[in-house]
């Protein structure tokens, strides 16, 4: 998860510096490549993480219900 946050912060930084990037066509091409390749992977990783923690939460709730009985 740390790598995802580092990458998103880098992208945020690059977009904040937008005034300097407007003259750099190569930078925008690279950002499009990052969007096409890396962000797809990030979405998959976030989905997997969400599914994992949802399953953990469900198991914890079921365990608490069994202990309450």
Count: domains in the chain: 1
Could you report the per-residue pLDDT of 44-56, keeping only the tens digit for each? Answer: 888 999 999 999 9
Instruction: Examine residue 3 and state whether it is found in any structural domain, yes or no.
Output: no
- Angle among Cα 9, 13, 19 to the nearest 5 degrees reads 160
37 within domain boundaries: no
* Amino acid 12: pLDDT: 78
Residue 50 lies in a domain: yes
Give Cα 63 to chain centroid, integer Å.
30
Residue found by looking up tokens 């510096």 in the block: 17
For residue 31, what are the contacts with CB-CB under 8 A and spacing of at least 6?
Answer: 11, 14
Query: What pLDDT, in 10s, does the model give residues 18-64?
Result: 666 566 676 777 778 877 888 788 888 889 999 999 999 999 999 99
User: What span, in angstroms and rounded, lies between the C-alpha atoms of 42 and 27?
Assistant: 20
Residue 69 maps to a domain: yes
| Residue 29 located in a structural domain | no
Is residue 17 assigned to a domain? no
pTM assigned to the model = 0.53
Q: Is residue 12 part of a domain?
A: no
Q: Return the structure tokens found at 2.
A: 């740390």
- Asked, for residue 6, whether it belongs to a domain, the answer is no
């Amino acid at each position: 998860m740390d790598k995802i946050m580092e990458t998103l912060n880098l992208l945020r930084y690059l977009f904040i510096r937008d005034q300097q990037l407007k003259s750099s066509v190569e930078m925008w091409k690279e950002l499009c490549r990052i969007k096409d390749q890396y962000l797809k992977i990030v979405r998959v990783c976030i989905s997997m993480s969400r599914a994992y923690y949802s399953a953990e939460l469900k198991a914890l709730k079921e365990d608490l219900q069994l202990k309450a009985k």
